[in-house]
């Protein structure tokens, strides 16, 4: 179920956004909804950290390391600093 959100914007901005949305075959609500979803996603630190750990884990696995190798990897990286 969705809920209504009332936002005040400059009339020219609304007209221009509606014009672009129409060209794209979308409603102005579709555009605003997508922008809000992207805004929240971009600022969701937990999701960002989860994604980061996923990418790190994938690189470690691709390199052939196992979970028990991690302490040695960390020690080696720290020693290089």
Q: What residue ranges do the domains of the chain occupy?
A: 11-43, 45-80
Question: What's the whole-number mean pLDDT along residues 71-78?
Answer: 91
* Cut 0.75: pTM above it: no
Predicted pLDDT at 4: 93
Q: Are 42 and 67 in contact (CB under 8 A)?
A: no
Short-list 31, 35, 29, 27, CA closest to 3: 29
**What integer pLDDT is reported at residue 25 of this predicted model?**
97
């Amino acid at each position: 179920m969705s809920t209504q959100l009332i936002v005040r914007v400059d009339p020219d901005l609304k007209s221009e956004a509606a014009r672009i949305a129409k060209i794209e075959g979308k409603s102005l609500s579709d555009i605003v909804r997508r922008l809000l979803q992207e805004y929240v996603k971009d600022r969701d630190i937990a999701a960002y950290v989860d994604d980061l750990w996923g990418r790190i884990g994938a690189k470690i696995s691709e390199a052939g390391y196992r979970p028990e190798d991690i302490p040695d990897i960390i020690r080696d990286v720290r020693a290089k600093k």
